[in-house]
Amino acid sequence: MSLVYPTMSYDARSRRLREEYCRRLRAKTTTTTNAGYADWLLQTYPHGWYLPRHIRRVARDVDDVLQGRCDRYAVRMPPRHGKTENVTVRLAVRMLELDPAANVLISGYNERFARRLGRKARNLAQGRVQIAQDSTAADEWHTTAGGVMMTRGMGSPPTGTGFRLIVIDDPIRSREDAESEVKREAAWDHYTDDLLTRLDPGGAIVIVMTPWHEDGLDARAIASEPDRWRVLSLPALAKPDDPLGRPAGEALWPERYDRDALLRIKAIMDQNDGERSFEALYQQNPQPREGSIFKPDRVRIVDDPPAAPVALCRAWDFAATAGGGDYTVGVLMCRAADGSFGVLDVVRGRWAPDERDAQMRRAAEVDGRAALIRIPQDPGQAGKDQVLHMARMLAGCNMRSAPVTGAKEVRASGFASQVNAGNVWAIRGAWNHAYL
Average pLDDT over residues 165-175: 94
How far is residue 54's CA from residue 80's CA, in Å, rounded to a whole number? 13
How far is residue 131's CA from residue 289's CA, in Å, rounded to a whole number? 48
C-alpha distance from residue 407 to each of 296, 318, 410 (Å): 20, 16, 5
Average pLDDT over residues 163-167: 98
Between CA 186 and CA 371, with CA 224 as vertex, the angle to 5 degrees is: 90
How far is residue 85's CA from residue 91's CA, in Å, rounded to a whole number? 9
Give the pLDDT score at 320: 67
Tally of CB atoms within 10 A around 242: 17
Give the pLDDT score at 414: 84
Q: What is the CATH number of domain 10-281?
A: 3.40.50.300
The percent of the chain in helix, strand and coil, each rounded to the nearest 5, is 40, 25, 35
Average pLDDT over residues 171-180: 90
How far is residue 312's CA from residue 329's CA, in Å, rounded to a whole number? 16
| Pairing assessment for the beta strands 371-377 and 399-403 based on DSSP bridges | parallel
Least Cα distance to 168 among 155, 183, 182 occurs for 155
* E strands present in 31-181: 72-76, 103-108, 131-137, 140-143, 148-153, 163-169
Average pLDDT over residues 217-228: 91
User: Is the confidence at residue 8, as pLDDT, over 60?
Assistant: no
User: Is the confidence at residue 5, as pLDDT, over 50?
Assistant: no
Give the pLDDT score at 299: 92
For residue 32, name the pLDDT band (cuts at 50, 70, 90): low
- The residue among 357 and 404 whose pLDDT is bigger is 357
Give the pLDDT score at 139: 92
Q: Which residues, 6 or more positions from 244, have their beta carbon under 8 angstroms from its beta carbon?
A: 53, 54, 57, 234, 238, 252
Put the strands of the sheet holding 341-349 in their side by side order. 300-302, 424-427, 341-349, 328-336, 309-317, 371-377, 399-403
How far is residue 286's CA from residue 218's CA, in Å, rounded to a whole number? 12
Is residue 74 classed as helix, strand or coil in its secondary structure? strand
CATH topology identical between 10-281 and 296-435: no
Give the pLDDT score at 30: 46
What b/e sequence results for 198-209 when a residue is b if at least 16 CB atoms lie within 10 Å of its CB, and e otherwise? bbeeebbbbbbb
Put the strands of the sheet holding 131-137 in their side by side order. 131-137, 140-143, 148-153, 103-108, 163-169, 199-209, 72-76, 230-233
Q: What is the CATH number of domain 296-435?
A: 3.30.420.240
How far is residue 422's CA from residue 177's CA, in Å, rounded to a whole number? 32
C-alpha distance from residue 357 to each of 40, 223, 243, 354, 395 (Å): 57, 29, 49, 5, 12
Q: How far apart are the first and last CA of the chain?
A: 40
Contact 138, 118 (CB under 8 A): yes
Say what angle helices 111-125 and 90-98 make with each other, to 10 degrees: 50
Amino acid symbol at 21: Y
In the chain, what are the domain boundaries?
10-281, 296-435
How far is residue 334's CA from residue 133's CA, in Å, rounded to a whole number? 64
Give the pLDDT score at 18: 55
Tally of CB atoms within 10 A around 323: 9
Contact 345, 431 (CB under 8 A): yes
Contact 301, 432 (CB under 8 A): yes
pLDDT tens, residue by residue, 203-216: 999 999 999 998 89
Give the pLDDT score at 16: 60
For residue 384, name the pLDDT band (cuts at 50, 70, 90): confident
CA 128 from chain centre, in angstroms, equals 32
Give the pLDDT score at 17: 55
For residue 160, name the pLDDT band (cuts at 50, 70, 90): confident
Give the pLDDT score at 7: 44
Mean model confidence pLDDT for the chain: 88
Average pLDDT over residues 91-117: 96
Is residue 249 classed as helix, strand or coil in its secondary structure? coil
C-alpha distance from residue 424 to each of 154, 295, 301, 369, 372 (Å): 36, 11, 9, 24, 19
* E strands present in 196-308: 199-209, 230-233, 300-302
User: Is the confidence at residue 6, as pLDDT, over 50?
Assistant: no
